[in-house]
Amino acid sequence: MKQNPNALINETSPYLLQHAYNPVNWLPWNDESLEKAKNENKMILVSIGYSACHWCHVMEHESFEDDYVAKLMNQHFVCIKVDREEHPDVDQFFMEAVQLLSGRGGWPLNCFALPDGRPVWGGTYFRKEQWISVLQQLQELFQHQKGDLEEQARQLTEGIRQNQFAGKIDVKETNTAAAFKNAANSLKNQLDDKQGGTRGAPKFPMPDLLMLQFELSGQANDKALENHALFTLEKMARGGIYDQIGGGFARYSVDARWHVPHFEKMLYDNAQLIGVYTEAWRKTQNPLFREIVEQTIDFCLRELHGPEGGFLSALDADSEKVEGKFYVWTSEEFNTVLAEDAPLLQKYFQIDQQALWEDGNNVLVRPEEDAVFASQNGLDLEVWMQKLADSRKKLFDYRAQRIRPATDDKRLLSWNALMIKSLARAAVVFERNDWLQTAIKAYDFIQQNMRTTEGGYYRSWKDGKAKIDGFLDDYAFLAHAVLQLYYATAEVRFASEAEAILSFVFKSFYDESQHSFAYTSSKSRKLAVTTFENHDNVIPSSNAAMAQLLISLGLIFEKQDYLKLAEQMLHQQLDAMQQFPTAHSHWLQALMRLEQQSMIVVKGPESLSSSLMLQQKLSLSIPVLASTEKGIPVVDDKPANDRTSFYHCDRQGCRPAIVAVDELLHELNAPY
């Protein structure tokens, strides 16, 4: 007989709905749940995960579906389930508490708090016996040694509060050239020269760190950083972390050689990696990088794209309660599907060799370049490429008959914004108007479905319902996305919307005492500490993104106060950037942007087409601005000539107009 549902049955998050029939009396994170703990004088258990999390599923099955465990939890605790993707503010706060306690974190995250919400103890995954013991011990402490828990809560809360604030640095005393050199040297010490990425395992694709390597390579005059980034991108593309049959990247590989992934596929990884591989192709014209961009976009459009235009969040790692079952292959399956071509394709994908994982299953890899493989096997390259394409389709069609992993179909604003930005950039670089129209449709979906009555945005949308006030990353990433739409179209409405977003953020998130932006808006703060997100990870930190935004809009709209605030924010992080560049990749890119303030303004009869041509040749760090109408000050105040003219501007101001593109590219040291 099926369990009666708990309060999560009324939620829209797929992760929360997975727990709606647990015997635990789960509640969602809201004012009513927090008030219940105070009224009943019970400790709070905040249990945090996400729908594609393998160990979250394991702990649910072992503990949260168990009647005895549920009885203990229900009797002594107010149990709150949180989807970390819906509430990154809650996740960030309690994750920091657990990391202060143990030095490590992860998901599922289980943190216990006093009735007032201050954390006292926590951890990640617990086996059933451990979990029962934890529940009993904490209840005993709460009943008989509450003073000890109060002191623990005080210390933890103060520790979290202290971690929010960066030190102040006198801008005049900093040497940014030395800072870039120091950051480059620190970064090189952490890079894996044999397999790419950073050293050790597991191996995460770090798209923003790879972007930093491209930019820092030029700034620090160190080509090794760019070469390492390109090497990493090739290793990832040829490894099992990339789906060699269906396209798209998994979240990370458990080993050091990008082979066996943790099989979930996240929108934020794939969105950002589309952007990085686009830049890699623009730099090198390597056909592998173009193939990865096209296949990854195809994957996202096929499996993570809603009919209304928004993008879905993730695909699960598991199917049929087995991790990776949908994606792995046996040699027998290759024989069945490919018949006489099986031996050749087994050799190409390294079946039972480099691809072998466990229990006779293979995670496909392709270590050889296609031209080399064709030559080694006596095949004409064109014939081989057609055979490979045909075989991939057969394997894809066969795999499609398997039971699919579950899809987390909520649309998250910040992740959609990352996708819009990368799609718009790729559309320009590869001249794909269909990708641009897809990006605009996703933006239109957000405007029509995720606006609040106060002029802000909601974070999440599912089944026709938008919910949860947006966080700082939602606003920062959306502003960057619409700026990219402006660069791709020269339509003033996009640049104007970016400035409108910034105005809203100033009103709702800015903390003048910190010269920084809180992660949660002033009307949505329910936690014991106001948090500020400053460490870049797989996704850039929201404050680093805000610094970048202030610089871009400061230059476009000629607002010196924006630039001044960005400078203050950046110099607060300067020491940390040099010591820990992997955790400050976006900050370093923002600092370079502030130092250079380089951009191209295009005026004249062919301004849009000329602007798009230049964007195909120039780094993202040199925006190219044109305008279809009045409304962009830095464009409006340039003289218009009969011929299309180019104005190169940087920190020293704007140079006289250039009409020859080759002359401009030579000045910029760009290929032409």
Tens digits of per-residue pLDDT, 473-494?
Answer: 999 999 999 999 999 999 999 9
Show contacts of 362-370: CB within 8 Å, 24+ apart: 362/328, 362/329, 362/330, 362/331, 363/240, 363/259, 363/260, 363/261, 363/324, 363/327, 363/328, 364/240, 364/244, 364/245, 364/329, 365/238, 365/239, 365/240, 365/244, 365/259, 366/238, 366/244, 367/238, 369/288
Distance CA 136, CA 519 (A): 35
pLDDT at 97: 94
Domains present along the chain, CATH in parentheses: 7-163 (3.40.30.10), 327-401 (no CATH), 599-667 (no CATH)
Is the distance from CB of 459 to CB of 413 less than 8 angstroms? Answer: yes
State whether residue 261 is helix, strand or coil.
strand
Residue 1 has pLDDT above 60, yes or no: no
d(CA 156, CA 97): 6
Query: Amino acid letter at 98?
Result: V
Beta-carbon contacts of residue 437 (< 8 Å; ≥ 6 apart)? none
Residue 80 confidence (pLDDT) above 80: yes
Check: CB of residue 237 under 8 Å from CB of residue 296. Answer: no
96 phi, psi to nearest 5 deg: -65, -40
Q: Does the structure show a pLDDT above 70 at 11? A: yes
How far, in Å, CA of 25 to CA of 6, rounded? 6
CA distance 8 to 26: 7
Check pLDDT > 80 for residue 581.
Answer: yes
Count helices and strands (H / E) in the chain: 27, 20
- pLDDT for the residue 3: 75
How confident is residue 168, by pLDDT bands cut at 50, 70 and 90? low
Residues 49 and 13 sit within 8 Å (Cβ to Cβ) = no
pLDDT at residue 61 in the model: 94
Contact 600, 647 (CB under 8 A): yes
Whether pLDDT at 338 is above 70: yes
* Integer Cα distance of 569 and 567 in angstroms: 5
Work out the number of other CB atoms within 10 angstroms of the CB of residue 428. 24
Pairing between β-strand 458-462 and β-strand 411-412 as defined by DSSP bridges: antiparallel
pLDDT-derived band at 321 (thresholds 50, 70, 90) equals confident
Q: Is the pLDDT of residue 671 over 90?
A: no
CA atoms within 13 A on the CB side of 429: 27
Mean pLDDT within 622-635: 94
pLDDT value, residue 669: 81
CA distances from 207 to 14, 271, 272 (A): 27, 9, 6
Q: Which residue spans within 564-652 are E strands per DSSP?
A: 599-603, 624-625, 645-650
Question: What digits encode the pLDDT tens for the residues 292-313?
Answer: 999 999 999 999 999 999 999 9
Give the C-alpha separation, 619 to 196, whole Å. Answer: 22
Buried b (16+ CB within 10 A) or exposed e, 347-363: ebbbbeebbbeeeebbb
Average pLDDT, the chain: 94
Q: What token pair was written down for 614?
A: 């230049």
pLDDT tier, 102 (very low <50, low <70, confident <90, very high otherwise) = confident
Closest by alpha carbon to 458, among 442, 478, 474, 480? 474
pLDDT digits 0-9 by tens, 111-124: 999 999 999 999 99
Predicted confidence at residue 526, as pLDDT, reads 85
For the chain, the C-alpha Rg in angstroms (whole number) is 26
Q: Which of 521, 512, 416 is nearest to 471 (CA)?
A: 521
* Burial class of residue 243, CB neighbours in 10 A (0-12, 13-18, 19+): buried
Going from the C-alpha of 324 to that of each of 151, 365, 428, 488, the distances in angstroms are: 44, 15, 35, 38
Q: Is the pLDDT of residue 211 over 80?
A: yes
pLDDT band at 167; cut points 50, 70, 90: low
The pLDDT, as a whole number, for residue 177 is 87
Give residue 13's Cα distance to chain centre.
19
**109: helix, strand or coil:** strand
Higher pLDDT residue, 173 or 354? Answer: 354
Helical pair 287-303 and 267-284, crossing angle rounded to 10 deg? 150
- N-term to C-term CA, the chain: 71
pLDDT(170) > 70: no
Q: What value does the mean pLDDT take over residues 217-241?
A: 94
Helix (H), strand (E), coil (C) string for 649-666: EECCEECCCECCHHHHHH
Residue 587 has pLDDT above 90, yes or no: yes
The whole-angstrom separation of Cα 276 and Cα 269 is: 11
525 DSSP β-pair partners: none
pTM: 0.94
- The yes-or-no verdict on residue 2 having pLDDT over 70 is no
Question: At residue 575, what is the residue type?
Answer: D
- What residue has token string 């269909």? 434
Host H or E run for residue 148: helix 146-163
Q: Which carries the bigger pLDDT value, residue 397 or residue 527?
A: 397
Residue with tokens 């992080």: 573
- The 10 Å CB-count burial string (b at 16+, else e) for 193-209 is eebbbbeebebbbbbbb
Give the containing element (helix H, strand E) for 209: helix 207-219
Cα torsion through 470, 474, 479, 480, rounded to 10: 180
